[in-house]
Amino acid sequence: MERNDIIDFKALEKELQAALTADEKYKRENAAKLRAVEQRVASYEEFRGIVLASHLKPLEQKDKMGGKRTAPWNCHTTQESTSQDEGTEIFQEKTLFQPETSAEFYRDWRRHLRSGPERYQALLQLGGPRLGRLFQMDVGFGLLGELLVALADHMRPGDRAAILGILHSLTSTGRFTLNLSLLSHAERESCRGLFQKLQATSVPRPTAEGLSQEEQRLEEQSGGPQEEEGLLQELLGLYQVN
């Protein structure tokens, strides 16, 4: 058998495990969302707390307080802190942010991309179409607000078209309307501020008299600023920005 024909079973196992972990996380958080809605929680903070604690299990009768603790009560936070330095060192060796699954995106976004500029650059690097494919099923709880904040805080006028593409792709993800309704007040303000910046950077469309016949033909074919403005107006409605 040729060397190139050898199957890397370790890589396949790792990919399968990542997919199973992402699927389990999605089902767990979705069940917590439904449970919180049924309980009619009084505030967004209470709803968020229920979802974020969905991985915790209740104590059993055999569990004792004050005794020797053989395992951490919250393995998720402990595992993240103990392996953070090693993971950061490995991540810094990468030159591109290229998650293949939503689970990989969550891992790198929350663990390694800590600063706003890093997150903003990562979103531009991925682009709207790829983000839409990664989160076709659902954008993880709380993530939509983080994406909007990163875009709003660091938007550059020259990235206007790319940002419009990202915003448009996010609207096609699963449960977009639900995730939008769960934005915190600060996240809603960031969303509104982002659209104000997008509106402020609108490029006036030149009149037909100021264009040659060739320029008019090229503009009609490409859509140009007119197409961007149409998309912006559509997104204002989808994101419920007044």
- Rounded to whole angstroms, the Cα distance separating 16 from 214 reads 54
The pLDDT, as a whole number, for residue 137 is: 87
How many CA atoms lie less than 13 Å away from 4 in the CB half-sphere? Answer: 0
Asked if 160 contacts 188 with a C-beta cutoff of 8 angstroms, the reply is no
User: Which pLDDT belongs to residue 129?
Assistant: 94
Structure-block tokens of residue 37: 């809605």
Per-residue pLDDT of the chain (242 residues; tens, 9 = 90+): 445 557 777 777 777 777 777 777 777 777 777 777 777 766 666 667 667 666 665 545 555 555 555 545 454 444 544 444 444 443 444 446 788 888 889 888 988 888 999 999 999 999 999 999 999 888 887 899 999 999 999 999 999 999 999 999 999 998 899 999 999 999 999 999 999 999 998 765 555 555 555 555 544 544 567 788 999 999 999 999 97
Sequence ranges of the domains in the chain: 10-35+96-238
58 membership: H or E segment, kind and range: none
Under 8 Å between Cβ of 166 and 172: no
